[in-house]
Chain A
Amino acid sequence: MKRIISGNESIALSFGDAGGVFASGYPGTPSTEVLEEMARLGAVYCEWAPNEKVGFESAMGASIAGGRALATMKHVGVNVAADALMSFSYTGVGAGFIVMVADDPGQHSSQNEQDSRNYAKFAKVPMLDPSDSQETYDFVRTGLELSEQFDTPVFLRMTTRTAHAKGYVEQREKITPKVGEWVKNVPKNVMLPNYGKIKHIQVEERLLKLKEYAETTPLNRVEMRGTEIGILTSGVAYQHVREAFPDASVLKLGLVHPLPEEMIREFAGKVQRFMIIEEMDAIFEEQIRAMGIRIDLGKGPISYCLEVDSEIIRKAAGEKETSAMAPVQNLPQRPPIFCPGCAHRGLFSILAKLKVFVSGDIGCYTLGALPPIGAMHTCICMGASISAAHGMAKVNAVAGRAEKPVAVLGDSTFFHSGMTGLLSLVYNNGNALVIVMDNRTTGMTGGQENPGSGQVLTGNPAKQVNIMELAKVMGVENVVEINSYDLVATEEAIKKGLETPGPYVLVDRNPCILRYRVKNPPLKVDSETCTGCRACLKAACVALGLRDCGDKPKVAIDPNICNGCGVCSQLCKFDAMSKG
C-alpha cells in the first residue's frame, strides 16, 4: 500500500515491518514523531526515556538481549547519549541497533546547529542519510542488517526536511520479530581496559571492511547524465540538487560514513566540474580533499549555516538568480509566545518585575527570555538551569554580590538532567532559588508523557513521580508549592525564597493548558475604566490588543483567544478587566 507520510512516520512504520522489538528515546524537535507514531501503530514496544542517554542505554540492553532496537533523539540528544555511544561502538551489538538522530539545519527549533555526521566519524560507526520518506523506510531495514552484519551500532541521520517533509512510501514485506539469544560474553561486552584495547583494534578493522562495503553497496549510487557537471551529495540536499541541475550527473551517498574513496575518485574523474553539495559542515569536502581529489565547488559559496535549497545551489554554481519581488519590509514580527492561559506567563511577569537573574533551561518557558518579558538570562542546554545557577552563586559569594540566582525549569527537563544539578546544589552547600514549572507534560515538543505525567508513551497509567517529595528526599529543606496565576502570592513566595539562604525549591503544579485542554471563560475590558496605561500588555498575551478609543488607544480582549487566566487583570491597576 502506498501512503504519503513524513520521514519520521516512515521510521516507525519500517521499524515495525523490519522486526523491531524495542524503541526508546527522548522527545526533541524534529525527532519526536517517530515514537509517537510507533505508539499509535502499536506493533512494537516503545517508551519515552527520561533522557537520551537512558533511552540509548535501554535500547543497547535490548540489542544485547537479542531484540532489534532503536534509540531516537534530536542532534543535541546525541551529546547526552555520547558516553554510551562511544563505547557501544567498541562492544558492538547483539541484534541490530539503530540510533536515529534528527539534525536541525536552520535551527528551526534548537539551541545549536551541530552536524551529527561528525559523531559517525568520532564514534567510528556507519551512518545512513536518507533523502526522502521512501528511502528512510528502506534505510531502517538496511541499517538493521548492516548493524548485524558488521557488529556495530548504525546511525540513521535525519534532518528537519527529511524528518518532517511528507512523501510517498511503499511498504515492504513484514518480518516477524525474532529474538536472539541473551549471551554472557565478557570480552565482548565488558569494557575493562584489557578488553577495550582488543576491541579498539577490531573497531579499526571494522571501519576498513565498511570502507570496502561502501564501494559496492547500492546505498551509494552514481547517476550518470551529462559530464559537464558532477555533484556529490546526500540527504535532502540530493533533492535540491536534482531540482537545481536536472541534467547533471550525481553521486548520491546513502552511506555517509565511511566514504567510498574509489567510487568518488572515479566519478570526479569522469566530469568536468566536480561539486560537493552538503548542508552544514564540510565533512565530505574535508575528507575528499585529503584523498587528493580536485574539488571545483564546495563550501566556499555555500554557508556552513542554515539549510540549502535549489536556489542557493544554483547561485553558488554561478547560475542566474530566480527573479522574485523583495520581501515586504518592516512588518511586525510574529515570534512564538506563551499560549493564552499558560501558567508560565504569571511567573515570568513576577520575575521580570523583581529584576532577578534567571538561569534558564530548555522548554516553553525559554520564551520568557523574549521581549517584552525578557526575564531569562541564560539558556544553554538541557538541565543546566540549576547547575549553572549554583556556579553563579559561588562566584557571587567570592565577589561579595548578595543577589541569589533563580533557576527556572520544567518537569520534563528536571527529570532529564535537572535533578543531578539539584543534587549538587544541596551537596555542595549551594545557594539558589529553583522554580520547577511542573505542568505534567513535555510541552514544547507538543505534549509528551514523562515520569511525572502519570502515563507512559502508549497512554497506559504509570507511577507518577512527585517533584516536591523528590526534592525533599534529595535534601532540600524548603520545598513550597506555588500557584503562578496568583501574582501576589507568587511574588511573596519568590521573595521569601530569595531571602532564605541555601537551596530553596518552588513548584508550580498547574497543568499545561494546551496538553490538558484547559478552557476558561474569556475576560472583558471595561473601556470606561481602562486608562490605556498599557501595564497589562507586559503580559505579552496575544488575546490583548490596543484599539482606537477617542484620543488614546485602550486595551481590548479578543474573546476567541482569551483563556481567562486573569494575569492581565492582576497587572491592571484600575480593575478594568472582569469575567465576561
Chain B
Amino acid sequence: MNIFNIVISGVGGQGVLLASKVFAESALASGLDAKQNEVHGMAQRGGSVTSFVRIGDKVYSPAVIAGTADLLIAFEPLEALRYVHFLKPGGRLVYNTGTINPSTVASGMAVYPKDVEEQIVRCCTNSHAIDALSIANKAGDVRAVNMVMVGSVIKNVPLDAKVIDGVVKTLSKGKGVEVNLSALRGGAAG
C-alpha cells in the first residue's frame, strides 16, 4: 500500500501521544510498517503539540511533509488551523470543537479567533467537527478525549476497527478499558 500519513495536533496534556501510539501499534498488529514521531520536553507545558504517524509496507522517514497528510486529527480548533497546511488536496480533517485558550490569549496579548470554525471550513473541503469533550464525559472520563478522537477517524484510516479496539484494550488499565472503548464507539458515532 501507499504510505498513509497522519498528523495529530493538540495541546500539551490532551493525550496526543497516546492516540498516535494506538495507530502505530495497530499498524504493527496488522502486519504493516509504521513510524511514529513527536517532540517531548518543553513543548508539553501547555504548548502546541504535534505527532506524526506514517503507515505503509515500508516506511523510511518519520516526518510528514506539509501538503502530504492524508488525515489531520486536531484535538483543538486553533491547532487544526495551525497544521491544516499539512493536508494534501482533499485530505481529511477531523477536529474537536472544544477550545483551549493559549497563554497568549489567557494573558490578553492575543485574541482567540471567533471565526475559527469558518476559517477551518474555508481551508479544508473535507472536514468534520466533533464535540469530543461531551462524548468523553458520557463515556465516563473527560480525559478520554484522545480515544474519542481516535474513534472519530476509524473509517478514515487503513486499519481494522477490531484491531484498534484490541490495541486500546491492551494500552488501558482497569476501569479505563471500558471508558476508552466507550469513548472509541462514541467518537465513531459522532
State the A residues within 8 Å of B (CB).
2-4, 29-30, 32-33, 108-109, 132, 160-161, 164-168, 236, 239-240, 242-243, 307, 309-311, 322-328, 331-339, 364, 367, 370-372, 444-446, 534, 537-546, 558, 560-561
Known: A327-B85, A328-B119. A334 touches B47 (CB 8 A): yes
CB pair B142 A331 closer than 8 Å: no
**A167 cross-chain contacts in B, Cβ below 8 A:** 34-36, 59, 62
Q: Does B104 contact A (CB under 8 A)?
A: yes
B108-127 Cβ-contact flags toward A at 8 Å (1 or 0): 11111100000100010000
CB pair A324 B67 closer than 8 Å: yes
**B79 cross-chain contacts in A, Cβ below 8 A:** 334
**B87 cross-chain contacts in A, Cβ below 8 A:** 325
In whole angstroms, what is the CA distance A172 to B42 when docked? 34
Q: Which of A242, A334, A560 contacts B60 (CB 8 A)?
A: A242
In whole angstroms, what is the CA distance A30 to B88 when docked? 30
CB pair A537 B43 closer than 8 Å: no
Known: A322-B65, A325-B85, A537-B106. A164 touches B38 (CB 8 A): yes
**A29 cross-chain contacts in B, Cβ below 8 A:** 40-42
Q: Does B28 contact A (CB under 8 A)?
A: yes
Chief secondary structure at chain B's binding surface: mixed
Count residues of chain B with CB under 8 A from any CB of chain A: 57
Q: Which of B35, B41, B66, B105 contacts A166 (CB 8 A)?
A: B35
**A534 cross-chain contacts in B, Cβ below 8 A:** 108
Known: A324-B67, A331-B113. A542 touches B25 (CB 8 A): no
Known: A109-B42, A334-B11. A545 touches B66 (CB 8 A): no
Q: Which of A109, A370, A540 contacts B39 (CB 8 A)?
A: A109
Given contacts A322-B67, A328-B81, 10 further A-B contacts (CB under 8 A): A108-B41, A109-B39, A109-B43, A161-B63, A166-B36, A239-B62, A322-B66, A331-B82, A336-B46, A445-B41
CB pair A542 B106 closer than 8 Å: yes
Q: Which of A32, A323, A335, A546 contacts B103 (CB 8 A)?
A: A335
A161, A534, A543: residue with the most chain B Cβ atoms closer than 10 Å: A161
CB pair A325 B112 closer than 8 Å: no
B33, B85, B88, B102: residue with the most chain A Cβ atoms closer than 10 Å: B102
In whole angstroms, what is the CA distance A170 to B79 when docked? 36
CB pair A337 B45 closer than 8 Å: yes
CB pair A540 B60 closer than 8 Å: no
